Chain A
């Protein structure tokens, strides 16, 4: 850690395999993709931080409506500029991998949807979320009436303690009912 590396060492690779849900091939592929984002002199410093606008040129993130939130949530930088190191990048990939547990996915999903970073999803967060999901242009937005109906339905369904916001446990409860998140683990 902290040494120069143009190639991932075996120890580091097995450590990453242990700490994430990615397979060895996936980690190596991620390393290749990440080093393409680095300029030539940055390549030889491990834990180099890549600024957000370069991360957002990745084709998988380029059109994702949540791209900026993803970078902000997963970044460990001191300033909130959304820059990612390679380890942050691996954390990103593991959160979205197929074998990640529901706990991880729901935790990160909650952080991403919490637009004002206050730890709960209130009406403002939900409205921004709906607009992200349906598109920001005028013709793809729901009408005000529909939005109101939708948000009241959501709060009725998910807000169990009736405090007007959805916190992490309520969020996880809703998610556990979703078919895409239920996984049958064979251990």
Chain B
């Protein structure tokens, strides 16, 4: 009969449909639902599957409606079906509770959404310039928030108590030691012209020196009431230490989320073409120009990757002689770049020394001498990466490696130049580490040149921060706007070849890391520096955004945005490490100034902790001793080893199960092909049988 073969094929159709239920069914739904009437609603697909029902005993709707890829009308139908599926009263209550909790979460998320800083600007930047540039601005926003919270911390624990208790309270320890060391007179004599006022503002001297800005103004006050006591030196120390720990925790937390993403995607090696093709289109692109740019971007990336692949095949086939030449060239270039960095450091060293010698000069020339280290650092940071780019071109690494190598070199240069500056300062303050030398013998630090050395270091950091900001500002008006005007209005070949400026992300990020490292180094000596830095970074955001939209053309060579977050944070950690070394050394080794600051009568800054420690109650002391003793720390160490082993084992098990599932997928595909073939054979068999039967 005619209907039978149809039924056979209909059965086959049903079977195939059931087999591909989860993917094909929902795909067909979208097209089928518009053409067919109600009876095609796939009820068996939308009811909770038996497995899910068994797992969640008395739960409500097991699958969120939002995550079902169906048109709105069908989602409504699903919801009605699910609502009818909650018969038992207790189930209904639990379901209602879940719903209200859910609504609360939604409201909280909406509120948080509203308060996110600069959300619209970041979206606009990302849509027009891509993920790499957006990651720079996200990093900048993170630093703004970090600095703001830290300045609140410092203000709350150090600044406000200092202001409040300035007149009240006595000093904790009375002074011992030679009297000459305690003389400190920062207030300038004579008239203050506006000119001098401005110079003082820029260099942190004069009226600015003896103020809440710098360490020297804070006093050794301790307030002790009946049930309230506040020890300002101790608060100062602990706030500084906690500030560093807090920043470390924030950076690691943020790096954790970014690294999770990086690990889950299993390495973005070159040649990951499917990922590029399927996920790279940015649907947030607006406008013809942005779209064309994105297309050019993708084309460029595909061509580069394909070329790199064929180049890899070629290099694998290089002869021994050619390889030898390439490697010796790379070693030579490495030595050249190292030499450049050493030369830059020597220049900074000389400049700092020269600036110290000439520190008494007044006027504009004096200002130039004061800013000489910053000027030399900025010039070095500008020239050496340029030369580094040329060097990298000779070395012929693959494009992705070139970017990483250039970034590492530039980071190294910036941090080493800062370290050299600090080293020269240290030499002057501690007479090259030799306490017995004539200048330092009396007060254990170079009293003649630096009556209040902490303020001096704070001033240097303040000057570096300000100068960095001024340079950025000046570049904006003197280099970037004019360049754009020249390129736009002067149509010569030279102008076209130079072209509009490109927003180079790595160089800008290094600027941020450098600025933040300076702030960290100086926070111990200049407590208001995080606040100044917050304002500086906020202004920098608006400046950079302006220059991005008016002067820059988007980069053709993109910097991968996921790895960039992790790389920026790692580089920031280097800076943090440098600042921590400086802080630990200042706290433990160098003796504080006798004439100023909250630690003026202590042999070292850290020594206030043991002194206050012995004033605590007996039980607290015993408890703290116990925590530091071996009977506590060794079991703790053993426990953390066990926990770590557990996580490592877990990770390896997950990796193995991923590989297993992949193999299973392959087998499923083969199963499917085999079964489809069987069905076809069977149905063909049936048709033959029935046509044969029909003819009988």
Q: Which residues of B contact A129 (CB under 8 A)?
A: 277
Chain A 72-88: CB-based contact to B (< 8 A → 1; otherwise 0): 01111110000000011
Question: Are the C-beta atoms of B72 and A134 separated by less than 8 Å?
Answer: no
* Cross-interface CB contact of A76 among B73, B257, B268, B672, cutoff 8 Å: B73
Query: Which residue on chain A has the smallest CB distance to residue B307?
Result: A146
Question: Are the C-beta atoms of B113 and A23 separated by less than 8 Å?
Answer: yes
Question: Are the C-beta atoms of B290 and A134 separated by less than 8 Å?
Answer: no
* Cross-interface CB contact of A65 among B66, B69, B291, cutoff 8 Å: B291
Answer yes or no: B280 CB below 8 A from chain A CBs. yes
* Cross-interface CB contact of A66 among B28, B71, B281, B662, cutoff 8 Å: B281
Question: Are the C-beta atoms of A140 and B665 separated by less than 8 Å?
Answer: no
Once bound together, how far apart are the Cα atoms of A171 and B274, in whole Å? 9
Binds B, one of A28-36, A38-46, A162-170: A162-170
Answer yes or no: A11 CB below 8 A from chain B CBs. no
Chain A 88-99: CB-based contact to B (< 8 A → 1; otherwise 0): 101100111000
Q: Which residues of A contact B27 (CB under 8 A)?
A: 107, 110-111, 119, 168
Answer yes or no: A116 CB below 8 A from chain B CBs. no
Beyond A59-B286, A87-B73, A161-B666, whether A142 also contacts B295 by CB under 8 A is: no
Q: Which residues of A contact B26 (CB under 8 A)?
A: 107
- Count contacts on A: residues with CB < 8 A to the other chain: 76
* CB within 8 Å of A: which B3-46 residues: 23-24, 26-28, 30-31, 33-35
Query: Which residue on chain B has the smallest CB distance to residue A129?
Result: B277
Query: Which residue on chain A has the smallest CB distance to residue B670?
Result: A161
Answer yes or no: B190 CB below 8 A from chain A CBs. no
- Count contacts on B: residues with CB < 8 A to the other chain: 69
Query: Which residue on chain B has the smallest CB distance to residue A152?
Result: B273
Question: Are the C-beta atoms of B264 and A133 separated by less than 8 Å?
Answer: no
Once bound together, how far apart are the Cα atoms of A113 and B27, in whole Å? 13
Chain A 168-187: CB-based contact to B (< 8 A → 1; otherwise 0): 11110111111111101000
Once bound together, how far apart are the Cα atoms of A78 and B31, in whole Å? 9
Question: Are the C-beta atoms of A146 and B292 separated by less than 8 Å?
Answer: no
* Cross-interface CB contact of A182 among B265, B271, B283, cutoff 8 Å: B265
Once bound together, how far apart are the Cα atoms of A172 and B125, in whole Å? 29
Q: Which residues of B contact A126 (CB under 8 A)?
A: 277
Question: Are the C-beta atoms of B669 and A94 separated by less than 8 Å?
Answer: no
Q: Which residues of A contact B274 (CB under 8 A)?
A: 154, 157-158, 174
| Interface secondary structure of B, over-half rule | helix
Query: Which residue on chain B has the smallest CB distance to residue A85?
Result: B72
Answer yes or no: B279 CB below 8 A from chain A CBs. yes
Query: Which residue on chain B has the smallest CB distance to residue A136?
Result: B295
Query: Which residue on chain B has the smallest CB distance to residue A126?
Result: B277
Binds A, one of B297-305, B417-425, B546-554: B297-305
Question: Are the C-beta atoms of A140 and B295 separated by less than 8 Å?
Answer: yes
Question: Are the C-beta atoms of A177 and B265 separated by less than 8 Å?
Answer: yes
Chain B 241-265: CB-based contact to A (< 8 A → 1; otherwise 0): 0000000000000000100111011
Question: Shortest distance in angstroms between A182's beta carbon and chain B's nearest beta carbon?
Answer: 5
Question: Are the C-beta atoms of A76 and B71 separated by less than 8 Å?
Answer: yes
Once bound together, how far apart are the Cα atoms of A12 and B281, in whole Å? 33
Chain A 58-76: CB-based contact to B (< 8 A → 1; otherwise 0): 0110111110000001111
Answer yes or no: A135 CB below 8 A from chain B CBs. yes
Q: Which residues of B contact A19 (CB under 8 A)?
A: 65-66, 72, 75-76, 79
| Interface secondary structure of A, over-half rule | helix
Answer yes or no: A160 CB below 8 A from chain B CBs. yes
Once bound together, how far apart are the Cα atoms of A146 and B262, in whole Å? 29
Beyond A23-B110, A59-B286, A161-B666, whether A153 also contacts B75 by CB under 8 A is: no
* CB within 8 Å of B: which A124-144 residues: 126, 129-130, 133-135, 140, 142
Answer yes or no: B316 CB below 8 A from chain A CBs. no
Once bound together, how far apart are the Cα atoms of A25 and B273, in whole Å? 38
Q: Which residues of A contact B262 (CB under 8 A)?
A: 179
Answer yes or no: B653 CB below 8 A from chain A CBs. no
Answer yes or no: A7 CB below 8 A from chain B CBs. no
Beyond A76-B71, A76-B73, whether A142 also contacts B302 by CB under 8 A is: yes
Once bound together, how far apart are the Cα atoms of A25 and B107, in whole Å? 12
Question: Shortest distance in angstroms between A10's beta carbon and chain B's nearest beta carbon?
Answer: 14
Q: Which residues of B contact A96 (CB under 8 A)?
A: 283
Question: Shortest distance in angstroms between A164's beta carbon and chain B's nearest beta carbon?
Answer: 11
Question: Are the C-beta atoms of A184 and B260 separated by less than 8 Å?
Answer: yes
Question: Are the C-beta atoms of B666 and A160 separated by less than 8 Å?
Answer: yes
Answer yes or no: B390 CB below 8 A from chain A CBs. no
Q: Which residues of B contact A100 (CB under 8 A)?
A: 66
Beyond A63-B290, A104-B67, whether A181 also contacts B279 by CB under 8 A is: yes
* CB within 8 Å of A: which B647-675 residues: 662, 665-666, 668-670, 672-673
Q: Which residues of B contact A18 (CB under 8 A)?
A: 65-66, 79
Answer yes or no: A53 CB below 8 A from chain B CBs. no
Query: Which residue on chain A has the smallest CB distance to residue B64?
Result: A101
Query: Which residue on chain A has the smallest CB distance to residue B299?
Result: A134
Question: Shortest distance in angstroms between B461's beta carbon and chain A's nearest beta carbon?
Answer: 36
Question: Are the C-beta atoms of B278 and A113 separated by less than 8 Å?
Answer: yes
Once bound together, how far apart are the Cα atoms of A63 and B75, in whole Å? 30
Answer yes or no: A54 CB below 8 A from chain B CBs. no
10 other A-B residue contacts (CB within 8 Å) besides A104-B67, A181-B279: A19-B66, A24-B110, A76-B30, A78-B35, A90-B72, A109-B278, A111-B27, A133-B280, A140-B299, A179-B262
20 chain-A/chain-B pairs, Cβ below 8 angstroms: A18-B79, A19-B76, A23-B109, A63-B291, A76-B33, A87-B72, A91-B72, A104-B67, A107-B26, A111-B30, A133-B295, A135-B295, A154-B274, A158-B274, A170-B665, A174-B274, A179-B262, A179-B264, A180-B131, A180-B562
Q: Give me the interface of B with A, judged by CB distance under 8 Å.
A: 23-24, 26-28, 30-31, 33-35, 65-67, 69, 71-73, 75-76, 79, 106, 109-110, 113, 131, 257, 260-262, 264-266, 268, 271-275, 277-281, 283, 285-288, 290-292, 295-296, 298-299, 302-303, 306, 309, 561-562, 662, 665-666, 668-670, 672-673
Question: Which 8 residue pairs are nearest across A and B when measured between Cβ atoms?
Answer: A161-B669, A179-B562, A87-B72, A168-B23, A63-B291, A107-B69, A134-B299, A178-B279
